[in-house]
Amino acid sequence: MLAAYQTARLALEDGSIWSGPAFGAPGTHLGEVVFNTSMTGYQEILTDPSYAGQIVVMTAPQIGNTGINNDDDEARQPFLSGFVVRELSPCVSNWRAASSLDVWLQAHNRLGIAGIDTRALTRKLRTGGTQKGILTTETAPSDADLVDQARAWPGLDDVDLVQAVTCDAAYEWTAPSDTEWEFRRWTVQPDIAVPPGGFSVVVYDFGVKHNMLRRLASLGCRITVVPARTTADDVLALHPHGVLLSNGPGDPSAIPYAVEMTRQLLGRVPMLGICLGHQIMGQAFGGKTYRLKFGHHGGNQPVKHIPTGRVEISAHNHNFAVDPDTLPPEVDVTHVNLNDNCCEGMRHRSLPALSIQYHPEAAPGPHDADPLFTEFVQMMAEHSREAVTRR
């Protein structure tokens, strides 16, 4: 543990300085400062690859209560740049805990800062928008020096962060959700003809969360996860029944290779895009993306499904969105965010392709959107039947 007297400072590009006790590993980290409104699930947030390059501010007042366990990581390591909390719990109380948050952050060389008025900081970010920041335990730089460093940092626009989080080689995933998992009440409809061994799904790893893979495995899918630069021809050579474009970090306009690959696959195999995958698909359809003022980060976003009027409470983590006015007429916007009316889902009218901006696999989090995985399986089944008919 860091010495009790060691202080960390968070400097923002607007000139404000925030200081408090440091925890985790000492050092200096630059990043975009964003706030997350989830009340639980800090371990899943810390290990979500979509936070690469970001300093995450938790609005929940006390963090660390349940420690860190060996089961809930969403990726092989944390990729975020820093962690900001109001109060770091002085004790750990959970039967699954394997270590404290402090010890775990040390092991992964990540820095946290406590004692911050996260309500005031969140209001600043919400009012002024996402800011560049620097988090450090160094004492030599002055406050003004730190502000200058934050301002000089180029930020995350036009930066490909996917290459920092994607897998190095393709691999198979077989582990389903736990049998106690609440999602089990949503299953594939009995009239779906599942091929022997289940549907084969290729998952593009742009920063995929493990629970996305677990949900597909729970529906009987055979999953192959592939690196982000895998070509469309290499994917088709695997003869998948469907392709999933995963979540991931950064600016969606900075990964044209992913957009081109998606363009080549559209219409040839059923496709599902989630979060960054949604933004990639939107560009492949011909649309454009734009940066949100402060993004959507948290487990309490209301989203309306336009065809039915059903409102889902959903989990989000994105700074960019698809501009619906740039989409072609053959693409329908299926979901909108009721807070800011941004596009949260799309479906092509003639091609087997759909996407949502938020996280149907959220764990922990609201489960309203989980049936999307069943919808994807149904789409694969329909496409398979049509292929047989065409023969």
The catalytic site residues sit at 275, 359, 361
Residues 297 and 299: their CA atoms lie apart, in Å, by 7
CA 207 to chain centre: 8
**Which residue in the block uniquely carries the two structure tokens 């021809």?**
233
Contact 249, 53 (CB under 8 A): yes
Contact 129, 12 (CB under 8 A): no
59 torsion bin: left (phi>0), alpha (psi -120 to 50), beta (else): alpha
